[in-house]
Homo-oligomer: A and B are copies of this chain.
Amino acid sequence: MFLKALELHLEAEKPIVILNKSDAEELDVRPLDRVEIIFKNKKLVGTVNIAKKFVKPGYIGLYETISKQMRLKTGDRVKVSRTEPPTSIEFIKKKLNGSQLTGKEINQIIKDVVSKKLSDVELTTFVVSLHNHGMTMDEVASLSEAMAFTGDILDLGKEEIYDKHSIGGCPGDKTSMILVPTVAAAGLTIPKTSSRSITSPAGTADKMECLSPVDLSVEEIKKVVKKTNGCLVWGGAVNLAPADDMFIEIEHPLSIDPLLLPSVMSKKKAVGCKYLVIDIPTGKNAKIKSVQEAEKLASKFIELGKRLDIKVSCLSTYGEQPIGHNIGPALEAREALETLMNKKNPKDLLDKVCDLVGNLFRFRGIKEPEKKAFQIIKSGKAEKKFREIIEAQGGNRKVKPEDIPVGDKKVKIHSARGGFVLWINNSDIIKLARTAGAPKDKGAGIVIHKKIGDKVKKGDILFEIYAEKAYKLNRALKLAEEMDVYGIGKKYEMMLAKIPKEKNNSYFVLER
């Protein structure tokens, strides 16, 4: 049938059309069915929404993506007919019913995901089905490749590309900012792309942005890496494995993460990584609760690496408390810089960096690799390399830690009793930092004064909250007063939690 176009000026990226109920019935389409629109030899398939009043009979409401692509103006006469939905929907239904998908089927799904042809109902069904039925290693490998090759590819023209990934969940983890310059200073190529925070107080990209631009293009990244062997950029700016972002929109509200493996590995594949070390923070408030669980996950990463031609080694690391002392974009950028300058010496951070770097060096056959890593940092070579990278990315190579602005609204939290720090609740620390404004307010965050095992006297400062805005500081302070962030007690005190909980402090971590 012929209908008149109606521009809706709605910027949703999906090709959605809105039909009046009576026209939809005439076309025999229901919500989420597809129609083909023809205008001046241009064809496009849209997903049907139905309105009773908003779009009048005889009209077809068009979201911006369609009206722009087809150069349609309100009043243009278009031919509209019912058409079959994308074939990928059949494959999604197949997975929904528990069947294994072929590489070809997975490819088609990811193609349609990336070109935004699938509705929320269809996307959710795919993600939930993966969560429910799991995937075989063949499926994970196909998915990783499909996600990699539907996005940008960073081709550095080199064979030996090194990389590091953390599955996240540990606040204050500024490991990458120390690790990348250390690896690059040794002459290894490490084009590190990172994400911005999703649920954490600061992603590596958010932290690095306090020192230099991070939204570089593929060509700019190539130049930086050619010059310095490394980079610390935001993956989101270069459209690496873009399907992942669309999956995150579904996973986040559901607190599930069935695409962890393909998500990580597709991004590594897209930068041409050959040697990869994966950090698996392990602890009762982390994503991975025990070493056994970490081993299981690690063996999957290693197996997947074999199929994708990436050598993988994994480290389960202590994840019971924040890494170093600072949490929040600017505070962490400061601590990273101070550590590289040997002005500060956060032992847990340095130990973790050296273990991870060591495992990358081992791939290269470097002897005493952890020691070598430590030397590169202590000799100042890593700092020098870091400043090179900052400059190459467009930042100020002479930046001093105190140049990085942090929030000027502060409050100290004191201990109500004496004893030892028995535990720190990472989830609470994350919530506090975010309530104080991180990551949106770069200067907001937490500075930890006492760590697990430290002796504490009544009235000692446990931690400080930083904020840029007074009302956010107040909110964070109020929250801190309601929480049990620190467990302080005698070393024999056994109770960790009361069940059922009197309040719900659980917090889902989704980081890539």
Contact = CB atoms under 8 A, between A and B. Distances in A.
A11 B21 CA distance: 13
A254 B121 contact: yes
Contacts of A250: 121
Contacts of A123: 121
Given A120-B124, A131-B96, A434-B28, A11 B254 contact: no
Contact of A120 (B28, B121, B255): B121
Contact of A121 (B11, B124, B132, B440): B124
A440 to B, nearest CB: 4
A299 to B, nearest CB: 23
A33 B124 contact: no
Interface string A166-200: 00000000000000000000000000000000100
B120 A11 contact: no
A348 interface: no
A121 B28 contact: no
A414 interface: no
A133 B131 CA distance: 12
Given A11-B54, A52-B11, A440-B28, A128 B253 contact: no
Contacts of A9: 54
A93 interface: yes
A108 interface: no
Interface string A44-61: 000000011110000000
Q: Which secondary structure dominates where chain A touches chain B? A: helix
A237 interface: no
Contacts of A129: 128, 132
A474 interface: no
A253 B93 CA distance: 10
Given A125-B124, A128-B128, A119 B256 contact: no
A172 B122 CA distance: 32
The 5 A-B pairs at the shortest CB distance, nearest first, are namely A124-B124, A32-B253, A120-B120, A25-B440, A11-B54
30 contacts: A10-B54, A11-B51, A11-B54, A26-B440, A28-B434, A28-B435, A30-B198, A31-B249, A32-B252, A32-B253, A33-B253, A89-B253, A93-B255, A96-B131, A96-B132, A96-B254, A96-B256, A119-B120, A119-B253, A120-B120, A120-B121, A121-B123, A121-B124, A121-B250, A121-B253, A121-B254, A122-B254, A124-B125, A124-B128, A125-B254
Interface of A: 9-11, 25-26, 28, 30-33, 51-54, 85, 89, 93, 96, 119-125, 128-129, 131-133, 198, 249-250, 252-256, 434-435, 440
